[in-house]
Amino acid sequence: MSAPDAQRSGAGPSTPDAQRSGAGPSTPDAQVGEVGEVGEVGAVCATCGEVGDPGDRFCEGCGAPLPETVGPPAGLRPGTRARPVTARVSVGAAAQPEPAGPPPTTDHSETPCAACGEGTIADDRFCDECGRPADAPDAGDGTVPPEARDHAEHAVPGAAAVTDLGRVRAANEDAYGLARLPLAHEAGELVVGVVCDGVASVPGSERASLAACDAVLEAARDALAHPDVDDPDLAATGGVDLTELAHVCADAAMDAVTALAAGRDAPACTYVSALVVDEILVISWIGDSRAYWLVPDAPEESVVLTTDDSWAAEAVAIGLLDAAAAYADPRAHAITRWVAADAPPGPAHVIAHAADRSGIVLICSDGLWNHVPSPADLARLVADAPADTATAMLDAALDDGGTDNTTLVVVDVVAPVGGSS
């Protein structure tokens, strides 16, 4: 990434013009079990048949959600240090007395849940907030491990990320973040992807890119933990306004990188993120990292979703040069907006789309699109699995010389059945 040398004038966010039209997949319902003594109602898991204890929100056998049932009052639950956070139905009986004495403690009673980041692992070895088992992999959030900056990969269902040093650079200043997080009320899952490219001429920019990616995943996780479930317009996305979340994530990235500034040094990076729920995708960016919409079945219909904040893009926009001449100019990759303490003011660009056909969202640093800029050519690299697609795209950049760090995230987008093509 070239050093910033100019400021963008009049660059405001694009206006989202698409709305979600369908709800996400639902989780199998559970059945309410037989009523025993007044105030005691168990639930039978429809997934594995396990009978839960009164008040359980998740199955102890497989972790699947259970319907709300009568349970102990909102005191400390036996075997945990957590208080229940959802209401329970009443059967007209007085509340059961609180358990006598402090709850039993175990070595793992204070263990935070790696999956949701909100709950703790209870005695039953399941999270008391999200229901995932303690030995399950995390919720799919991953950034580049500090000890593996030269090459790292991460995958979650339906999405994959990869970063690579390349064949020329001495250090990798790129980073990615990738998470697949459950939405409230069984509204499906949100995939969060982010790619940041450190500005090579500014010391500390390898820390900037990683800090920005970490901040985005943390902001997304926090938003999903506090949904607005009372807003009917947000029911299809689990109480989360994806456009607002895109701005929140970009602001979190800016704050995290700004905090790294010391003295005259202001570490900097570019930024592009994708939020995907079913056929809805919301893209946000600052700088010249890009987002693409790829249609493998019709490569020529693939498009670039973003507009570079760069000298070349602005030279083309004002008619100074045609695209070929602008991107051949030595100033081509001088960015006009960036993420840093000394960044030009203004919000991130944000756009929203509702896909009417299935396809792939690609977000990437210029280490990929410098070598394979054409959306159609990128679409022809799409493989059956996201991880294979990511590998194919990285290989294409390396085979063409690998002149820069290359980082990308690919996300499958599944349009509703019957959508037009």
Sheet with 349-354: strands ordered across: 142-143, 174-182, 189-197, 271-277, 280-286, 349-354
Name which of 273, 270, 248 is nearest 339 in CA terms.
Answer: 270
Answer yes or no: are the C-beta atoms of 284 and 12 closer than 8 Å: no
- Residue with the bigger pLDDT between 414 and 30: it is 414
Residue 35 maps to a domain: no
Residue 392 maps to a domain: yes
CATH number of residue 392's parent domain: 3.60.40.10
What is the pLDDT, as a whole number, of residue 417? 75
Amino acid identity at 43: A
- Would you say residue 16 has pLDDT above 90? no
- Would you say residue 3 has pLDDT above 90? no
- Residue with the bigger pLDDT between 16 and 233: it is 233
364/176 Cα distance (integer angstroms): 9
What is the pLDDT, as a whole number, of residue 379? 98
252/238 Cα distance (integer angstroms): 21
Pick the most confident of 38-52, 100-114, 306-320: 306-320
Amino acid identity at 269: C
Domain holding 310, by residue range, is 142-413
What is the pLDDT, as a whole number, of residue 82? 29
Total residues belonging to the chain: 421
Residue 44 maps to a domain: no
**What is the tally of structural domains in the chain?**
1
57/84 Cα distance (integer angstroms): 9
Mean pLDDT, residues 317-327 taken together = 93
Residue 307 maps to a domain: yes
Mean pLDDT, residues 298-309 taken together = 97
Residue 337 maps to a domain: yes
Answer yes or no: are the C-beta atoms of 416 and 21 closer than 8 Å: yes
DSSP string, 332-383: TT-BS--BSTTPPSSPPEEEEEE-SS-EEEEEE-HHHHTT---HHHHHTT--
Answer yes or no: are the C-beta atoms of 292 and 305 closer than 8 Å: yes
What is the pLDDT, as a whole number, of residue 267? 97
Name which of 320, 328, 257 is nearest 287 in CA terms.
Answer: 257
- Would you say residue 308 has pLDDT above 50? yes
- Phi, psi at residue 237, to the nearest 5°? -115, 30
Cα angle value 83/89/93 (rounded, 5°):
95
186-221 residue pLDDT tens: 889 999 999 999 999 899 999 999 999 999 999 999
- Phi, psi at residue 297, to the nearest 5°? -75, -15
Amino acid identity at 12: G
What is the pLDDT, as a whole number, of residue 44? 76
The helix or strand, by DSSP H or E, that contains position 169, with its residue range, turns out to be none
Q: Looking at 25-29, 102-106, 306-310, which range is the least confident one?
A: 25-29
421/411 Cα distance (integer angstroms): 19
- Residue with the bigger pLDDT between 136 and 348: it is 348
Mean pLDDT, residues 51-66 taken together = 65
Q: Looking at 20-34, 337-351, 388-402, which range is the least confident one?
A: 20-34
- Would you say residue 338 has pLDDT above 80? yes
> Which is it for strands 280-286 and 290-294: parallel, antiparallel or unpaired?
unpaired
- In 2-158, DSSP assigns E strands to 31-35, 41-44, 142-143, 151-156
66-101 residue pLDDT tens: 665 544 433 333 332 222 222 222 223 333 344 444
- Would you say residue 371 has pLDDT above 90? yes
381/363 Cα distance (integer angstroms): 14
Report, in angstroms and rounded to the nearest whole number, the Rg of the chain calculated over CA atoms: 24
Q: Residue 411, SS3?
A: strand
What is the pLDDT, as a whole number, of residue 141? 58
Tokens, residue 327 = 């991107």
pLDDT, the chain, mean? 79
Mean pLDDT, residues 273-295 taken together = 97
Residue 388 maps to a domain: yes
Residue 53 maps to a domain: no
Residue 68 maps to a domain: no
What is the pLDDT, as a whole number, of residue 75? 38
Give pTM, 2 decimals: 0.68
